[in-house]
Amino acid sequence: MESIRLLDEAQYDAQMRTVVLPALHAVLHEYIHPVDERVFLRCQLFPLPDSAQCVVISHGFTESCEKFHEMAYYFLRQGYSVLLLDHRGHGLSLREVEDPDTVYIRRFDDYVRDLDSAVCAARPLLPKGCRLVLFGHSMGGAIAARTLELHPATYEKCVLSAPMLAMDTYGVPSWAAKAVSGLFLAAGLGKRRFFGHPVYSPGEQFSQSACLSRARFDYYAKLRMAHPHLRTNAASYRWIWEGLRNHDRLFKPQALARICTPTLLLRAQHDSFVLPKALDDFESAVPCARLVDIPNVKHEIYRSPNECLLPYLKQIFTFLEA
């Protein structure tokens, strides 16, 4: 493992602009990937000519490529190529609803199909023999876990960071959220914004966020204010329905039995977005999975203060290099 040198939080904005983004842009290959005649994904590939592995990053709900640029930089510094993409309904990828605040998906497994298509298309652009590693956060972790079931031979290793294996429905019992969503779907209103989710507002509150680093929070909040494509902020009723149903599909014994990829589960101590017990259940059911608890962090572990971020990154790189 190379020495991990984190950005100085006191100079975070300046170092993102003068260190991280120039390093990324020096190797960036950005393109639109057509999944089929209708669906397209915005991809950012950062290939290193001598890399033996490529980390595929699957972002979380309402997130984007931009939110993971710092993480991509740390992976590059360790010698990994990186593939980022905006999932369907996010960033600059296909939007299936007119409301720019709202995320819609017809079937959760569409995310899995999209990801597999993008990865297959990126392979020829990577060094010959480059092996794949999957990193998924939150919703992206649920996509990654489902990918391990449906495409068990694709990835050498997988890291699930605060994965949405079971969704916390914002104080609404999951059965009630599923029932309400089902009623809206039956009425043909699945694309409507879920009643508990607000539209984007530029006055985001750090204290109510899933992030504990003020510098990292402020940096991305400014990006969201400046770029409308980063302002997705709410779920549709269909997204809630599919997110809850994905838990049922994911935890079918025959599906879990297909997972053979060594997997590191990272659980945030103070997580109000996903249900922690699901990570215990996953570890118990999947022999090649190992769970590590990360203390003193919220849901977005990768946007923690440096004193928490460093041991988190060390866990990841130690696992990948073992």
Q: Hey, what amino acid is at 311?
A: P
Q: Which residues contact 218 (CB under 8 A, 6 or more apart)?
A: 12, 13, 206
- What does the pLDDT read at residue 173? 82
Q: How confident is the model at residue 171 (pLDDT cuts 50, 70, 90)?
A: confident
**Taking a C-beta distance cutoff of 8 angstroms, is the pair 1, 78 a contact?**
yes
- What does the pLDDT read at residue 172? 76
Looking at residue 236, what DSSP letter applies? B
- What does the pLDDT read at residue 174? 83
Q: Distance from first CA to last CA of the chain, Å, rounded?
A: 10
Is pLDDT at 169 greater than 90 in this prediction? no
> Token digits for 154?
């694709």
What is the average per-residue pLDDT within 3-21? 97
Give the mean pLDDT of the chain: 96
Degrees, nearest 5: CA angle 234-142-45: 85
Is pLDDT at 175 greater than 90 in this prediction? no
Q: Is residue 285 part of a domain?
A: yes
Number of domains in the chain: 1
User: Among residues 242, 237, 291, which one has the least CA distance to residue 269?
Assistant: 291
Rg (C-alpha) for the chain, rounded Å, is: 18
Q: Is residue 257 part of a domain?
A: yes
In this structure, the strands spanning 29-34 and 263-270 are unpaired
Residues 108-134: pLDDT tens digits? 999 999 999 999 999 999 999 999 999
Q: Is residue 3 part of a domain?
A: no
The CB-side HSE value for 158 (13 A sphere, CA atoms) comes to 32
Q: Is residue 2 part of a domain?
A: no
- What does the pLDDT read at residue 92? 98
User: Among residues 292, 258, 250, 57, which one has the least CA distance to residue 165?
Assistant: 250
**Which of 174-183, 212-221, 239-248, 280-289 is predicted least confidently?**
174-183
- What does the pLDDT read at residue 7? 98
What is the average per-residue pLDDT within 206-217? 97
Looking at residue 274, what DSSP letter applies? B
Q: Is residue 1 part of a domain?
A: no
Degrees, nearest 5: CA angle 140-149-46: 45
Is pLDDT at 258 greater than 80 in this prediction? yes
Cα–Cα distance list, 179 to 14, 40, 244, 300 (Å): 47, 31, 11, 29
- What does the pLDDT read at residue 195? 84
Mapping DSSP onto H, E and C, the string for 117-171 reads HHHHHHHHHCCCCCEEEEEEECHHHHHHHHHHHHCCCCCCEEEEECCCCCECCCC
Enumerate long-range contacts of 116-121, CB under 8 Å, 24 or more apart: 116/147, 116/150, 116/151, 116/154, 117/33, 117/35, 117/41, 118/33, 118/35, 118/41, 118/43, 118/83, 118/85, 119/56, 119/83, 119/154, 121/33, 121/43
In this structure, the strands spanning 157-161 and 289-298 are unpaired
Percent of the chain exceeding pLDDT 90 equals 93
Q: Is residue 4 part of a domain?
A: no
In three-state secondary structure terms, 20 is helix
Cα–Cα distance list, 116 to 124, 143, 166 (Å): 14, 11, 22
What CATH number has the domain bearing residue 73? Answer: 3.40.50.1820
What is the average per-residue pLDDT within 197-224? 95
What range defines the domain where residue 21 resides? 9-321
- What does the pLDDT read at residue 157? 98
Q: How confident is the model at residue 260 (pLDDT cuts 50, 70, 90)?
A: very high
Q: Is residue 200 part of a domain?
A: yes
Residues 31-73: pLDDT tens digits? 999 999 999 999 999 999 999 999 999 999 999 999 999 999 9
User: Among residues 198, 234, 216, which one has the least CA distance to residue 90?
Assistant: 234
Q: How confident is the model at residue 264 (pLDDT cuts 50, 70, 90)?
A: very high
Q: Is residue 156 part of a domain?
A: yes
